[in-house]
Amino acid sequence: MFTEGNLSKIPHTSDNRGVRVLTAEQRLFKPGDKPGDIGMWFNRFMLERRFQRVSPKTLECYENSYKFFAPVLDTLKINFNDPKGNRWTGPSLQFREEALSDALKDKVESELRSAHSLSPTSINIYVRVMNTFLNWLVAEKIFENKFRLRPVKEPTGERRQVFTDDEVERLIKYKPKSFNQHRAWTIAICMLDTGVRIDEALSIQTPDVDFNSDLIFIATGKGEKSGHVPVSEMFRPILYRYMTRTQPEQSAFVFGTTKGTKMSQRNALRDIRVVERAAGVRSLSWHCYRHTMATGYLRRGGNIYKLQRILRHADIRTTQKYLHLATDFITEGHEAFSSLAPIKSRRQPEQLRRVTGIRPVLVR
């Protein structure tokens, strides 16, 4: 439990928690039963990936991908061994590989024709997993011929959704009615303030919060990247009150369960849906809270290079995508800086300087 008395005694752990080891979820991971040769090899593939320290969320995605293709994989029942138990080779193996390829392609096409089909984005996630598995089969010399599933066409244009200013204000003003609501509401406000991902928020432990420096240490970031995110003056008292009054005593995780374990994303989503309905805002994905933070940061004149560090993007081009959502920033000041405006009336584009960090020089 985080109390006022032990505030100064809590050590900062940015040095001793940077090395990633297998988590408890990874150590306890056991793939589900899958029939046939393909199922057996898929489990071997998953176990090997587990020892390469992929995240539990990625392992869950692998399982969901297999479940997506399971109707054709389980009914195909291709035997890759001859009657004597030896592995088929040459044309016999190629025939079986092509049968598997056709079955996987048929599953993707039938899903697209379905009235209740998954989104193209979700289908492509499962296609990428299956292609990774097929490449592994060739690398392990189980298959001789390499083939890939083609991704389905996704809608073009900007698909990121963000909360409106009115919705953010309603969320901030909402008064949680229970422990579950208070925890989910604080997670949402944390993501709106810091831009952390949902798994990063759920992984925050008590020593990671440094109120003296107004920083939160992210030890288990995406791609095993750790870092710090700043805490605003508005969110600081919200987080402090939650940690001193609401955080479960036996939980090392700030947003942990009453049993002391890390909260699952599924349960966190269940709780935030209750808060969203009560506050009168749309039910968007957890990642939309991160999108809202990034877009709002730029709209308010934030520096895009600082935002890159806060979001911990490896490539500035990833951060620049949020400029397309910040429509207020794009249109603001256009009249003053248009080529049709008189030169003498143009003022220094301070807004652009703050966002890009570059001060334009006018050549006279």
The HSE-up count of residue 121 (CA atoms within 13 Å, CB side) is 4
CA distance linking residue 126 with residue 148, whole number of Å: 12
The HSE-up count of residue 163 (CA atoms within 13 Å, CB side) is 27
What are the residue ranges spanned by the domains of the chain? 31-139, 165-311
Dihedral angle sign, alpha carbons of residues 338, 343, 345, 349: positive
Q: What is the pLDDT along the chain (364 residues), one digit of tens a residue?
A: 444 444 444 444 434 444 344 445 545 445 667 777 788 888 889 988 888 878 777 888 898 899 899 888 777 666 666 555 566 666 677 777 888 888 899 899 988 888 777 888 889 999 999 999 999 988 988 888 888 899 988 766 556 788 999 999 999 999 999 999 999 999 999 999 999 999 999 999 999 999 999 999 998 766 667 889 999 999 999 999 999 999 998 899 999 999 999 998 889 999 999 999 999 999 988 989 999 999 888 888 888 899 889 888 888 888 887 776 666 555 666 666 565 656 554 445 555 455 555 554 444 4
| Amino acid in the structure at residue 308 | Q
CA distance linking residue 152 with residue 108, whole number of Å: 8
DSSP state letters, 17-44: S-S----HHHHH--PPP--HHHHHHHHH
| pTM passes above 0.85 | no
What six digits make up the tokens of 222? 């995406």
Fold annotation for 165-311: hpI Integrase; Chain A (1.10.443)
CA distance linking residue 341 with residue 335, whole number of Å: 7
